[in-house]
Structure 1
């Protein structure tokens, strides 16, 4: 009883501190966004974009310091290889919790360019964070359901068009593109509804990855495949606030991208689309087997 009370008190204080910390940095964020909008000549826009990126890096750095100082998480992170803060990276991972984002930032913070996530458009309304994601050119996805697209087929290409536009911006400066191929966080209800053939994963969506490779493929030396496991079960955001993320295991592998994928037409070439989807399926089957090894008690 007392332990649960102290844990929830920790969470409440952490949440309040996070809000205050975010709003404080938000003052600088909005200032740089306004200055970038007013001073429209290229040198100034570039300088203020760098300033906005630094605000995001400082924000995440503070959160990582808090996690390191106050949490008792046991981390088991595989070799990340040689990293270049001025390179281009294409990263994919399985998605179980909001905690995944903090795990990825712990791995890569200031070691490679700021991670750019594909984000649900509804999250643009989140105070400060939503505007930061917009200012940092994060691609916003509509994530329409299959039933909605059947009623509104004209909306089917919106996410791919957003991916194209984002990749045009990403091609100009070193960028780390992070894509959760499942498109949403794993839970058993979604798994059952999809009739997913994987034990630990939802079905992957290959289109966004295909367009990213086609637009920026010559920038990437490989696909960085990250597999995240929580032996005690995926923590919720509240668990993270309360310091209840006990153990994280992460495996990282660099996989070659077939050279001809950079020139394929996923949208209009059916044979290429089938080949690309088969490649992603193999990637997901491999990840599912790896999760069996990482989570032996959950693999039966």
Structure 2
């Protein structure tokens, strides 16, 4: 599917879902857009970086969650993600996601069309509040990943078909910080052994130890329905056969209703498996309950 086709389908879904969603009760009482969107790993955050926020809009006395479909297309790869998250009392988030990476260019040579992995994640709010605390909201999370097709990762030097990332995230909303618009800033520190997020396994011939990686996000709330921003994510470099590069994106999120959000981004994923300059469109559709 071409990016233009994907965008048209997403817009059709938005138009059809938004009126119906607006007739129903709000899914939680937290302020608009304070649940973020959903990362490619299924947790609340931006597209690439997990935030300290909990998914959805559940407050301290509520529960709720999200369902997500995402797709990213570059010159040589296509990534599809389905995910679901549950938020209990704005304190604990549990999520699950399935990533499938289509090997559009390498598939014929490798005799394998795709790589996929399952991600089981949990996040706990440790302290603070993103809106009102001086030092923002702090959360601790983990993501356990299981690579489902390990032949290719093993052949290029990966040590394991599963691994667990651990991260500490801090998020803070600054009121009227940029041209009288609210600014959300997030900083995350991740301990990881994952190659290309785990899709090429964990550890490798160059390094098999956990490393600390910095991840950052910033978003400006133009109004309660539109957010624009950027993200940056450091990556380890464990495999000798090809260098692994950091990821970044610029994004816009549309939140027409508490039950629906659409995120579009231009993502630069660097070189992947020796194929250079993997850049392209990322689109994510999220429903909240």
> TM-score, normalising length from structure 2?
0.28
More strand per residue: 1 or 2?
A: 2
Whose helix fraction is larger, Structure 1's or Structure 2's? 1
- Flag the structure with larger Rg: 1
